[in-house]
Amino acid sequence: MTAPSNPPQRLYALVPCGGVGERAGTPLPKQYALLAGHPLVRHTLAALRAVPQLAATLVVIGPHDHHFETLVPADEFDRRWLARVGGATRAATVTNGLAALRERGARDDDWVLVHDAARCLLRPEWVERLIAACADDAVGGLLALPLSDTLKRSTDDLGGESRVRETVPRQGLWAAQTPQMFRLGLLQQALAHAGAQVTDEASAVEALGHRPRLVAGDWENLKITWPADFGLAERLLATR
């Protein structure tokens, strides 16, 4: 009698889309600000939709968010994969999103690729590079870039000025990007252990004693944060 085989692992994308983006200076939350004529998040979702390995993309928005359904056409995003369970922090939003994935049939050993909605210049080939590097990894990993700039740590004077306290050696330092790819069960455990203050999924996994794989990203995979970032993103999109 043949023993039953384990079902193959699936890959899901999870996009936290509940922030307000105050630093971006936009009237709406920055993920809905227009970029090249379309809301920023539409560019993000279009890139993920072009990754054939992904079984589905779950978008997590706030309970009272009515912008997404107005600005993202239904023929571009299946509303069954929209979860109104966003929390007060990124960690809470991702945690609630993982629970929503379970409700939709995801299992402990399925992979989840968490990606910032505001990294709207994402290219499908970068995601595929991450998947290829991490598919057989015991932990998972993230897109990241080795730092090339000289780094300064500041001291905040009482007068409001920032001055250099010290120069920080950049050797071995990387700038974390997204997607960040971990198995659902491990990521749930890591976020529950780390608490609400972690700023990315990899740091939560690190707090459990694991060492996520660093996969070379691309400098164009920038996160829209400041008003000037929109102009740069527009210029980069125009060259594609």
Tens-digit pLDDT profile for residues 199-211? 999 999 999 999 9
Helices 40-49 and 124-134 meet at what angle, rounded to 10? Answer: 50
Q: Which domains does the chain have, with CATH numbers?
A: 11-238 (3.90.550.10)
Q: What is the pLDDT of residue 158?
A: 58
- Quick check: 3 pLDDT over 80? no
pLDDT bucket at 143, cuts 50 / 70 / 90: very high
pLDDT of residue 29: 87
Ordered alpha helix ranges (H), 87-171: 90-103, 124-134
183 touches 140 (CB < 8 A): yes
* Confidence at residue 196, expressed as pLDDT on a 0 to 100 scale: 81
Q: What average pLDDT does this structure show over 133-157?
A: 92
Bridge partners of 35? 38
- Alpha-carbon distance of 6 to 90, in angstroms, equals 32
* CA–CA gap between residue 177 and residue 216 (Å, rounded): 10
Give residue 28's pLDDT: 79
For 150-196, write each residue's pLDDT tens digit.
999 888 765 677 889 899 988 989 999 999 999 999 999 999 999 88
How far is Cα 154 from Cα 115, in angstroms, rounded to an integer? 29
pLDDT of residue 74: 94
Contact status, residue 112 vs residue 184, Cβ threshold 8 Å: yes
d(CA 32, CA 232): 17
Helix, strand, coil tally for the chain in percent (to 5) = 35, 25, 45
Please tell me the predicted confidence (pLDDT) of residue 27.
58
The answer to whether residues 106 and 112 touch, using CB atoms and an 8 Å cutoff, is yes
Q: Write out pLDDT tens, residues 89-106.
A: 999 999 999 999 999 999
Q: At what angle do helices 90-103 and 184-194 cross, to 10 degrees?
A: 150
In this prediction, residue 20 has a pLDDT band, given cuts at 50, 70 and 90, of: low
Above 90 in pLDDT, residue 1? no
Q: What percent of the chain has pLDDT over 70?
A: 92
Pick from 28-37, 127-136, 216-225: least confident:
28-37
HEC sequence for 11-38: EEEEEECCCCCHHHCCCCCHHHCEECCE
